[in-house]
Amino acid sequence: MGKKKGKKIRVAFKKNRQKNVRQNKLSSHKVDEQLDSQYMDASERLTGKGDLTRHRTVMGVEQETPDGESSIVIDIDESSCLKGRVLRSQGLNSVVQAADGRLYDCTIRRLVRTMSRDDRNAVVAGDHVLIRLEGDGNQAVIERVEPRRSYLSRGSKRREHILVSNIDQAVIVVSAADPPLKPSLIDRFLISSEKGRIHSIICINKIDLVDPVEFQSLIGVYAQLGYDIVLTSAIDDTGIPRLRSLLKGKQTVFSGQSGVGKSSLLNQIDSQLLLETAEISQETRKGKHTTRSAVLLEISSGGWVADTPGIRQLQLWDVSPEEVEGFFRDFCPYIPQCRFPDCSHTHESDCGVKRAVASDFISRQRYQSYLKIIAGDEPRPVYHQ
């Protein structure tokens, strides 16, 4: 990873028009200011007029990532820091493993949080960080987060929520039953993974509850598109050896709907993990949340896995309707056959994609997923050629 010349960064220190701090909260804010001031050196300057325009000027360096992109990070004295990787992060606290294997309980430098104001979380599991030790124990402060080479994210409250970073592949776990399989959710995870530069594996779990023949058509659709597909059961060990082999030597995130059995699968892959599991709710037939934050775990067969909290729906982040067609591999051969270069493949006449759907060259189920995604999850009429 290359390192370029330093430059000044202007960082907003407080939001404009913020409410006055209550008197009984002053102590906690003073502690935060004192902690932050410990690491302010001559390269940093705090200026502003009152609470409206307070900014900080800091020195940053431009780093080139392995993918050829560039990112501005805080310029710090690296010789006084340790390199590590975040295993778990929740709120302002993180657990970081240093290169020698030692674990540190870390807080996050306020400037790091300020520079990530547009993100829901400044530090996530999988991040490579630089930490500065505090005293002689295992306490430390995260001074910088290095650029992420890959990530899995979603939209949450109009901000990006990155679930995990710096991983090789995502196992998209769905269940054959309890809760029922949602093909549209698979398509959303595939888009999010590809956008985050992650290889996707589709895992259909709880296959012991159904006749596998029921899913042959669905399996065929994704297999033809080049995706790895594994049918598994944590009850009778179906597919576990193959899944374990796909994880060997890789950094893998397990993601999917609540209750599909991600933690149960990981316990089968490595019995030493002992992850908490829960039964499906009998009232709603939906999964219960047992994993509350993403955590990175080393497995005995070699490699790392990240167990993530289950979700009910996946809102794509920073994917415009015009971009969606590019993530549907089965659309690509037919897009050049559309009459209009900006064809949305919905209402236009002489559309190559709609012709392919009508001729069963493109799965109708996949086309329905596409329509729902570009409509922003609002009901949209189905157009036939």
The DSSP line for 135-162 is TTSSEEEEEEEPPPS-EEEEEETTEEEE
Coil, strand or helix: which one is 266?
A: helix
d(CA 150, CA 192): 11
65 vs 30 pLDDT, higher one: 65
208 vs 12 pLDDT, higher one: 208
Q: Which has the closest alpha carbon to 150: 193, 187, 114?
A: 193
What's the pLDDT at 186?
A: 94
pLDDT tens for 328-370 read 999 999 999 999 999 999 999 999 999 999 999 999 999 999 9
Residue that has been written with the tokens 């922003």 in this structure: 376
Q: Is the model's pLDDT at 195 over the cut of 90?
A: yes
Coil, strand or helix: which one is 194?
A: helix
Q: Is the model's pLDDT at 161 over the cut of 70?
A: yes
DSSP 18: P
The amino acid occupying position 259 is: G
Determine contact, residues 175/137, Cβ cutoff 8 Å.
no
Rg (CA), the chain: 24
d(CA 215, CA 204): 9
d(CA 380, CA 195): 25
pLDDT tens for 258-284 read 889 888 899 999 888 877 765 544 444
Coil, strand or helix: which one is 357?
A: helix
Residue 160: band (very low, low, confident or very high) from pLDDT cuts 50, 70, 90 = confident
Residue 18: band (very low, low, confident or very high) from pLDDT cuts 50, 70, 90 = very low
What's the pLDDT at 205?
A: 96
d(CA 50, CA 182): 52
Q: Which has the closest alpha carbon to 276: 286, 285, 284, 288?
A: 288
Determine contact, residues 315/189, Cβ cutoff 8 Å.
no
The amino acid occupying position 361 is: F
**Average pLDDT, integer, range 86-113:** 91
DSSP 75: -
pTM of the model: 0.78
Distance of CA 372 to the CA centre of its chain: 22
- Cβ neighbours for 239, distance < 8 A, ≥ 6 positions apart: 203, 207, 230, 231, 232, 233
- Cβ neighbours for 344, distance < 8 A, ≥ 6 positions apart: 321, 322, 374
pLDDT tens for 121-144 read 789 999 999 999 988 889 999 999
Residue 28: band (very low, low, confident or very high) from pLDDT cuts 50, 70, 90 = very low
Determine contact, residues 312/257, Cβ cutoff 8 Å.
yes
352 vs 40 pLDDT, higher one: 352
Instruction: Give the helix/strand (H/E) hosting 191.
Output: helix 183-195
Q: Is the model's pLDDT at 13 over the cut of 70?
A: no
126 vs 36 pLDDT, higher one: 126
55 vs 182 pLDDT, higher one: 182
**Average pLDDT, integer, range 160-188:** 92
197 vs 51 pLDDT, higher one: 197
**Phi, psi values for residue 370, rounded to 5°:** -60, -45
Query: Which residues on adjacent β-strands are paired with residue 97?
Result: 85, 103
Domains and CATH numbers, the chain: 2-20+28-145 (2.40.50.140), 162-307 (3.40.50.300), 321-374 (1.10.40.50)
The amino acid occupying position 274 is: L
What's the pLDDT at 70?
A: 61
What's the pLDDT at 53?
A: 45
What's the pLDDT at 68?
A: 61
What's the pLDDT at 383?
A: 42
pLDDT tens for 199-257 read 999 999 999 999 999 999 999 999 999 999 999 998 999 999 999 999 999 999 999 98
- Cβ neighbours for 196, distance < 8 A, ≥ 6 positions apart: 150, 151, 152, 153
What's the pLDDT at 16?
A: 43
CA angle at residue 192 from 377 to 347, to 5 degrees?
A: 40
pLDDT tens for 280-333 read 444 444 444 455 578 999 998 889 999 888 777 788 988 999 999 999 999 999
Token output for 178: 């309890």
d(CA 184, CA 340): 27
Average pLDDT, the chain: 80
Distance of CA 375 to the CA centre of its chain: 23
Query: Which residues on adjacent β-strands are paired with residue 199?
Result: 169
